[in-house]
A and B are shown apart, each in its own frame.
Chain A
């Protein structure tokens, strides 16, 4: 990974299956903790009408925006409902459970 890692906090500060939003280096990022122990990070604003994606519901693959229910793949950022894609960010969790994002 080229870019420098930013420490977001501990993974367990995000409840299982939910998302939380962070601003890192001017970028707004929504980070989700999957039920399988992984985490995913995408840009925090819905490309439809700026909905807060960290408030959305997820499963292993997608996040549903809470405002008008558009859907995006967490791994690729692509919309499955025809919206422009989200950005995705690489995450890294260290052995102590610290969560880093690479910009």
Chain B
């Protein structure tokens, strides 16, 4: 019979230990039950910094989704706390009322934020004051993000790694961030004062205010946080406070269960709780040889030893502690530290190079010819060698400064070769050089492929260039690009040109036909449908066989879905021009359907928000205006300025040209949105320099055409494509450029990425100079699309499919039988 293994804590250490156990065939030995306080599968806590900063989506940081637990036969109690351990009866009692027996028990409860008892932190009724946050879990991160919206300034208490990351994250959402640190320099756990000072300058250069030697004595504000008070009497005003003042291991349950607990649960070299043959602790809650760790690298080593031991895969396995060398990206600044921060004995050698104005600081501490400490702020190019030298006491160059600079030192390739096999490359996920080499030997020859299979580089990302070097070295220079990176959609293993060629050769006119003929085993793929539908419509124009399930909901009902399942309706208003009659109809519709919000958009038209799905056809009928296509991956609007007729500076009739462009290209499908503008002079009131295609009237009756501009998630000034003499030429070149983009851009690749990828010179050659001789074909193709255009609101009022406009919420009630 299988033994019962119970794991308390479903965080990074708990889940990793279970993975290691499964990898050693533990699935046959144990029936595994896991308890996790957080209501999710397990995720990469390190990446919460990125989620807070908005550079990673929550969904991307999950390591194992719920299906992993099912697939491995693990019973997961997510969102359930274990309350008590009875080590005599060998049972754990959980908050959901269950009692679970175990033969072996692993405690992996991690840590929680330490919250100093500052007056005002807590609210008698609510627990935490509503504007006060900690930073440990997904829920913490969500709460901060939610609150940050609509607030303007944040104070972060604590100038360590977490505090700086919190400040940086909140700042990226537009908040003024101040870090209040009780210590004399930032990250005083890892850095010496000089390195801390360099880091401070770099952080301040990002716009974050840093207050040192600042002890917080009070959090002010009763309903809302209004600020904090410092011991020197100063008050710093703010709307929210984040406390990042350190962590404390979660040991209460272990302690109450009678285990030996000091700072953490005390364990031996097999990670066994002392005196308890069947109970183990791993991760931040464990104390080994007096050490409690607060970073992930040691957890990986602990997890391996514990798995070797518990499965019997290696009965001699023992953990001897970790020499912590950390590589971190703190608020966008690379920091590495290991061992001593500075010299401690008289004959310790100490080499420092500091250029505070550049934000650079490097130092090494050498004792008896061995590296015993190093700190790098900014450039981590030497970190791999230093970490290895630190780890195993390699001989060092006589000229110590060589440790800090590439003074004729080995090139990157030789350094990849010289790195020893067990050198840890990715500290977030505990991946060694040997693991990377093994993945390459097993046939994965792309950098991204190796990253996927080993998870190297999937944490903070600071090791990615080293991973790439090692993969290249291991593959003998024959690395491959990740194949799927070049595919047009994830479900069909073809790049865009090959895919288009196959589609044309086989005459595939519907999305299901493409799957049937070109997907592996003919398998449909939901993630690929939208991209294929867009491509086919562009290629076949009127001949495209339109399958409704290939469309995203917006394109099924010609409106943009919103957070509550209602839709927004944006009628076309060419060039931003409207009439009293249109305004009257919009007003009537707003009244009749009790539209919750009527709003002038950033695209120079009017948005009716909160329309119920079932009302859409009637709204269109009452408006009697064409669709503005504010919902699709397609041609959107042409913004214009008043231009020649009214403006005293106007040099060209921007409104008329804008309307002409919008009339001609309305609704054209494309790999991503296409937004245009025409402006009447270089004052650029219609923001034409930052549009997918922008036209600017200049002196002498001429027009400049810019392409690849952006001012959304990315900001880029467009590149000048051509200067032409007539509005007709503008229209022709616009059509040709848009068609070239439609045919060649990747799915969801906006022009701001496409134009620099192809290069403006190359685009000019093709579109303006016709160097490839395809201009006439491009013109014809775009004409065919223009001809095939039908306004979806005029044609689409009768349901095309049963229940097309039936609400998905609230729902149709089925009568009782």
Binding site for B on A (CB under 8 A): 4-9, 12-25, 28, 30, 35, 44-45, 49-60, 62-64, 66-71, 73, 76, 78-85
Contacts and interface: CB of A to CB of B under 8 A. Distances in A.
Contacts of A83: 40, 65-66
Q: Which 9 A-B pairs give the minimum distances between C-beta atoms?
A: A17-B549, A82-B62, A52-B808, A59-B524, A15-B801, A54-B808, A59-B526, A55-B553, A78-B67
B548 A15 contact: yes
17 contacts: A15-B548, A18-B548, A20-B806, A23-B814, A28-B809, A30-B808, A50-B809, A58-B549, A59-B491, A59-B529, A63-B526, A69-B59, A78-B65, A80-B67, A81-B65, A82-B62, A84-B39
B512 A22 contact: no
Contacts of A9: 814
B671 interface: no
A21 B526 contact: no
B67 A73 contact: yes
Nearest to B42: A82
Given A7-B814, A81-B62, 15 more contacts: A16-B547, A17-B512, A17-B548, A19-B808, A24-B814, A45-B809, A52-B809, A53-B808, A55-B808, A58-B526, A59-B491, A59-B523, A66-B552, A67-B561, A73-B67
Given A18-B548, A30-B808, A67 B563 contact: yes
Interface in B484-516: 491, 512
B808 A44 contact: yes
Contact of B802 (A15, A45, A52, A78): A15
Contacts of A68: 57, 59
Interface of B: 39-41, 43, 57, 59, 62, 64-67, 70, 78, 491, 512, 523-527, 529-530, 547-550, 552-553, 556, 561, 563, 565, 801-804, 806-814, 816-817
Contact of A57 (B67, B530, B801): B530
A7 B817 contact: yes
A102 to B, nearest CB: 12
Contacts of A52: 561, 565, 808-809
A59 B525 contact: yes
A12 B802 CA distance: 8
Contacts of B529: 57, 59
Nearest to B516: A35
Nearest to A29: B811
A27 to B, nearest CB: 10
Given A78-B66, A80-B65, A14 B814 contact: no
Nearest to B529: A57
Nearest to A25: B816
A81 B138 CA distance: 14
Of B41, B548, B803, which is in contact with the most chain A CB atoms at under 10 Å from its CB? B803
Contacts of B78: 84
A76 B529 CA distance: 22
Contacts of A53: 808
A49 B524 CA distance: 26
A28 B556 CA distance: 22
Of A22, A56, A63, A83, which is in contact with the most chain B CB atoms at under 10 Å from its CB? A83
Of A44, A59, A68, A84, which is in contact with the most chain B CB atoms at under 10 Å from its CB? A59
Given A20-B803, A52-B808, A35 B524 contact: yes
A30 B565 CA distance: 14
Nearest to A16: B549
Contacts of B816: 6, 25
A8 B814 contact: yes
A23 B530 contact: no
Of B40, B57, B802, B804, which is in contact with the most chain A CB atoms at under 10 Å from its CB? B802
B523 A60 contact: yes
B548 A44 contact: no
B553 A56 contact: yes
Given A76-B67, A84-B66, A15 B549 contact: yes
Contact of B526 (A13, A62, A79): A62
B563 A49 contact: yes
A77 B260 CA distance: 42
B211 to A, nearest CB: 37
B302 to A, nearest CB: 24
Nearest to A12: B802
A5 to B, nearest CB: 8
Contacts of A80: 65, 67
A53 B553 CA distance: 10
Contacts of A50: 809
Of B491, B556, B804, B812, which is in contact with the most chain A CB atoms at under 10 Å from its CB? B812
A84 B40 CA distance: 7
A3 to B, nearest CB: 12
Contacts of A79: 65-67
A12 to B, nearest CB: 8
Given A15-B801, A81-B59, A57 B552 contact: yes
Contacts of A66: 552-553, 561
Nearest to A9: B814
A39 B312 CA distance: 46
A76 B70 contact: yes
A51 B527 contact: no
Contact of B803 (A4, A13, A30, A63): A13
A49 B562 CA distance: 12
Given A17-B548, A55-B553, A82 B41 contact: yes
Nearest to B138: A82
Contacts of B817: 4-7
A81 B527 CA distance: 13
A16 B512 CA distance: 11
Contacts of B40: 82-84
Contacts of A73: 67
Contacts of B530: 57
Contacts of B803: 13-15, 20
Nearest to B809: A52
A25 B812 CA distance: 12
Contacts of B550: 17
A43 to B, nearest CB: 11
A16 B548 CA distance: 8
A19 B408 CA distance: 65
A39 to B, nearest CB: 13
Given A13-B802, A17-B549, A23-B812, A82 B65 contact: yes
A57 B526 contact: yes
A14 B525 CA distance: 20
A81 B802 CA distance: 31
Contacts of A18: 548-549, 556, 801
B510 to A, nearest CB: 11
Nearest to A13: B802
B431 to A, nearest CB: 22
Contacts of B549: 15-18, 35, 57-58
Contacts of A25: 816
A64 to B, nearest CB: 5
Nearest to A77: B66
A45 B810 CA distance: 10
A73 B67 CA distance: 9
B225 to A, nearest CB: 26
Nearest to B550: A17
A45 B816 CA distance: 22
Contacts of B66: 78-79, 82-85
A52 B548 CA distance: 17
Nearest to B511: A17
